[in-house]
């Protein structure tokens, strides 16, 4: 059986070394030494001045909305994981969807301004599959209309534009360190803010708004993460490069073998680096995509329609709305298996089956 993804797990002995320290200190959560160490290491690795390690990527988004004191309408994409939209609704704001670009699959910046109203307070855009949004165009729009910008970078760990971390863009950026991500801490997330005052506010929010044992300065939540998750993050930290290299090798092999498949890959930002987080394909037709999905499933090879369906016409708590490009792409997109334990032989099998299905 070949799953669509599988979490990377380091040698158990390396993780256990951290557990021994946790047991001896009996400091299990509340930003212990391991969580603090992980923050420092990730800041240095990503080239960031400010970064917080939090519960998960969804909480990171909710904290970002709260820290920027957003109200009213937030422009966002209908082609993303549900947390992008649900976080907006959860924080009492209204998501306003804008269609995506057919090539990058990110929010179409040429359509954003038409959706801005007097109630608009921010833009929340997703770097889909880790592919950077048009951050320059978004910044221009935000400055012109005095809007805040949040980037959902759940998939974008390690991605750069012109040697600069993708997390440097926007007022706040977030990242997921969920078990299925290319770099993970089991469960976890990151929230990044350029402005030290905003980061300080986020730090208070992460810990219930505490400013001392008996003093509160902010409305906060429990956004902290545990020493056990930090230990996984620290253990995995030393494998980031080897994980990247293996996923690149697998991706390059897919690209070579699937040259004649009637499907295309998203066009990557011309100045952005790749992190090989996913292997998405947009098929020529939904019929071909479904045939390929079912054909692979018959050989116990599992794929995922990621993202399907569009968030704009599937969520029960929102009024349904159709978008030409998003609705079309969502019906034809599929992610193939991609993880460190996947072998070139298995990729070769997947590719041979896909081409055989296509030609039948």
pLDDT per position as a tens digit, 328-342: 999 999 999 999 999
Q: To the nearest 10°, report the CA torsion of 98, 306, 106, 196.
A: 100
Looking at the chain, the whole-number percentage of residues with pLDDT higher than 70 is 100
What would be the CATH architecture of the domain defined by 240-359?
Answer: Alpha-Beta Complex (3.90)
What confidence score (pLDDT) does residue 168 get?
97
pLDDT per position as a tens digit, 109-124: 999 999 999 999 999 9
What confidence score (pLDDT) does residue 360 get?
83
What confidence score (pLDDT) does residue 23 get?
97
Tokens of 21: 């320290």
Tokens of 297: 């499933």
Q: Would you place residue 213 in the very low, low, confident or very high pLDDT band (cuts 50, 70, 90)?
A: confident
Domain ranges within the chain, ordered by starting residue: 12-237, 240-359
* Residue 52 DSSP SS3: strand
* Residue 72 DSSP SS3: coil
Work out the average pLDDT over 268-276: 97
Correct CATH for 12-237 of 3.40.50.10470, 3.90.650.10, 3.40.50.1100, 3.40.640.10: 3.40.640.10
Q: Residue 69 contacts by C-beta under 8 Å, 6 or more apart in sequence?
A: none
Chain centre distance of CA 21: 31
pTM of the model: 0.96
Instruction: Count CB neighbours of 270 within 10 A.
Output: 7
Work out the average pLDDT over 35-58: 97
pLDDT, the chain, mean: 97
Instruction: Count CB neighbours of 255 within 10 A.
Output: 12
pLDDT per position as a tens digit, 151-199: 999 999 999 998 999 999 999 999 999 999 999 999 999 999 999 999 9
Nearest by Cα to 93 from 79, 75, 80: 75
* Alpha-carbon dihedral sign for residues 295, 298, 303, 307: positive
What confidence score (pLDDT) does residue 214 get?
82
What confidence score (pLDDT) does residue 307 get?
96
pLDDT per position as a tens digit, 92-108: 999 999 999 999 999 99
What confidence score (pLDDT) does residue 167 get?
98
pLDDT per position as a tens digit, 283-296: 999 999 999 999 99
């Amino acid at each position: 059986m070949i799953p669509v993804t599988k979490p990377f797990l380091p040698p158990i002995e390396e993780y256990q070394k951290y557990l021994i320290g946790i047991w001896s200190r009996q400091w299990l959560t509340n930003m212990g030494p391991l969580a603090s160490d992980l923050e420092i290491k990730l800041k240095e690795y990503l080239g960031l001045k400010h970064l917080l390690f939090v519960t998960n990527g969804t909480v990171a988004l909710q904290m970002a909305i709260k820290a920027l004191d957003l109200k009213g309408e937030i422009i966002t994409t209908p082609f993303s994981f549900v947390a992008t939209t649900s976080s907006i609704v959860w924080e009492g704001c209204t998501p306003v969807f804008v269609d995506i670009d057919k090539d990058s699959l990110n929010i179409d910046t040429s359509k954003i301004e038409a959706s801005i109203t007097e109630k608009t307070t921010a833009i929340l855009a997703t770097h889909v599959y880790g592919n950077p949004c048009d951050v320059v165009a978004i910044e221009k729009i935000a400055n012109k209309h005095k809007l805040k910008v949040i980037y959902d970078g759940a998939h974008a760990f390690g991605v750069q534009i012109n040697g600069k971390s993708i997390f440097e863009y926007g007022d706040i950026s977030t990242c997921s360190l969920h078990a299925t991500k290319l770099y993970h801490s089991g469960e976890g997330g990151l929230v990044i803010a350029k402005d030290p005052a905003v980061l300080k506010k986020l730090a208070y929010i992460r810990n219930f708004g505490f400013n001392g044992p008996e003093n509160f300065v902010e409305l906060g939540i429990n956004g902290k993460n545990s020493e056990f998750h930090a230990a996984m993050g620290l253990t995995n930290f030393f494998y980031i490069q080897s994980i990247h290299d293996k996923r690149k090798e697998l991706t390059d092999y897919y690209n070579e073998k699937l040259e004649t498949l009637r499907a295309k890959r998203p066009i990557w930002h011309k100045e952005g680096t790749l992190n090989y987080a996913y292997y998405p394909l947009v098929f020529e037709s939904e019929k071909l995509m479904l045939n390929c999905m079912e054909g692979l499933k018959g050989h116990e090879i599992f794929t995922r329609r990621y993202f399907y369906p569009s968030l704009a016409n599937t969520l029960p708590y929102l009024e349904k709305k159709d978008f030409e490009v998003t609705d079309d792409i969502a019906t034809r997109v599929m992610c193939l298996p991609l993880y460190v334990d996947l072998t070139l032989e298995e990729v070769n099998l997947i590719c041979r089956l896909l081409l055989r299905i296509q030609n039948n």
